[in-house]
């Protein structure tokens, strides 16, 4: 069933590109999804089709049609969940390494969404039919804490905090190399790799598609040939931590996409774990900090490295 949305552009939207204006609004489209709808003629401004580059004016009436998903809707599956926190508005899940967050081509079953549909009777719909409850994502082979919304109210407020960089995340990353400095900042724009579109890359400033990206890190422990980093991304670009650390000369151990193909530690995926998230509860505004314990395989590797060092 086609869904229709109507927006009236507020004064602060003046001069924004149409695709940027639509990105992040219900149903929480990405910018590329907004561009696709615009190109298909499913977005009208004051009853007329416009380009993605159209500059929005205060008072513009923007109407958008969202066609039904082409892929089949996800179904509930009995998959165990490690729940860190839960109330009437949201849940915090410790996602295991190897689990895809939501159904996509090649991954229709066994995702976090399939597990959530089996566990919870009510999930937010603001993210679309294929991503019920999903506020943000982690890569398949990145483990750690994720927030899941049960109501559209909670979803939109958490998404606002995420977009406004009010939500803070911290990761543990085991990287190749012995990092000398105690802490550092990687400030390098990211965008699609011009040669491999499925990958991200550091791009020169001013390059079309390059977006600001900043990652801070602090040394936790040093081992022989490896370092454990506490990582604080200040922005949330796709694959940001993995690309930035590789760019800095410290690829994440077990990351065969951006790092080394050799895997002497025999890791099942990249040694990257989202261990902490801080946000304000959407209903009470209480500041919450939640943590997810390290996966056993990650913890065992650290014990082994301490012994060898």
Q: Annotated catalytic sites, by residue? A: 139
φ/ψ of residue 232, rounded to 5: -125, 90
Q: Report d(CA 208, CA 268) in Å as an integer.
A: 35
Q: Report d(CA 254, CA 241) in Å as an integer.
A: 14
* Structure tokens, 105: 């081509």
Element (H, E) at 7: strand 3-8
For CA atoms 6, 161, 279, 185, the dihedral sign is positive
* Structure tokens, 40: 């298909």
Please give the DSSP secondary-structure letter assigned to residue 118: H
Torsion of CA 183, 188, 192, 198, to 10 degrees: -10
Q: Report d(CA 276, CA 287) in Å as an integer.
A: 13
Q: Is residue 182 a contact partner of residue 219, using CB atoms and an 8 Å limit? A: yes
* Structure tokens, 48: 């007329």
Q: Is residue 231 a contact partner of residue 216, using CB atoms and an 8 Å limit? A: yes
For the chain, give percent helix, strand, coil, nearest 5.
20, 30, 50
As beta bridge partners, residue 129 has none
């Amino acid at each position: 069933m086609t869904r229709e949305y109507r927006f009236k552009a507020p004064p602060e939207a003046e001069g924004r590109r149409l695709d940027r204006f639509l990105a992040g609004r219900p149903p929480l489209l990405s910018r590329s999804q907004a561009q696709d709808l615009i190109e298909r003629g499913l977005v009208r401004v004051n009853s007329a089709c416009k380009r993605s580059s159209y500059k929005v004016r205060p008072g513009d009436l923007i109407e958008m049609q969202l066609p039904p998903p082409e892929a089949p809707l996800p179904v509930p599956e009995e998959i165990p969940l490690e729940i860190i926190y839960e109330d009437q508005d949201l849940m915090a899940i410790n996602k295991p390494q190897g689990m895809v967050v939501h159904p996509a081509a090649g991954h229709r079953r066994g995702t976090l969404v399939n597990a959530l549909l089996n566990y919870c009777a009510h999930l937010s719909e603001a993210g679309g039919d294929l991503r019920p409850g999903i506020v943000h994502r982690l890569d398949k082979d990145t483990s750690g804490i994720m927030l899941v919304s049960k109501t559209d109210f909670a979803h939109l407020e958490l998404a606002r905090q995420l977009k406004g960089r009010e939500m803070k995340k911290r990761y543990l990353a085991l990287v190749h190399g012995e990092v000398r400095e105690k802490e550092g900042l990687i400030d390098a724009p990211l965008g699609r790799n011009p040669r491999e579109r499925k990958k991200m890359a550091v791009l020169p400033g001013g390059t079309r598609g390059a977006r600001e990206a900043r990652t801070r890190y602090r040394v936790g422990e040093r081992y022989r040939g490896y370092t454990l980093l506490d990582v604080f991304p200040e922005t949330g670009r796709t694959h940001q931590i993995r690309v930035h650390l590789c760019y800095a000369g410290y690829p994440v151990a077990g990351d065969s996409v951006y790092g080394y193909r050799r895997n002497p530690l025999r890791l099942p995926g990249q040694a990257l774990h989202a261990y902490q998230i801080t946000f304000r509860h959407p209903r009470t505004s209480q500041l919450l900090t939640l943590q997810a314990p390290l996966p056993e395989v990650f913890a065992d590797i650290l014990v082994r490295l301490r012994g060898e060092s």
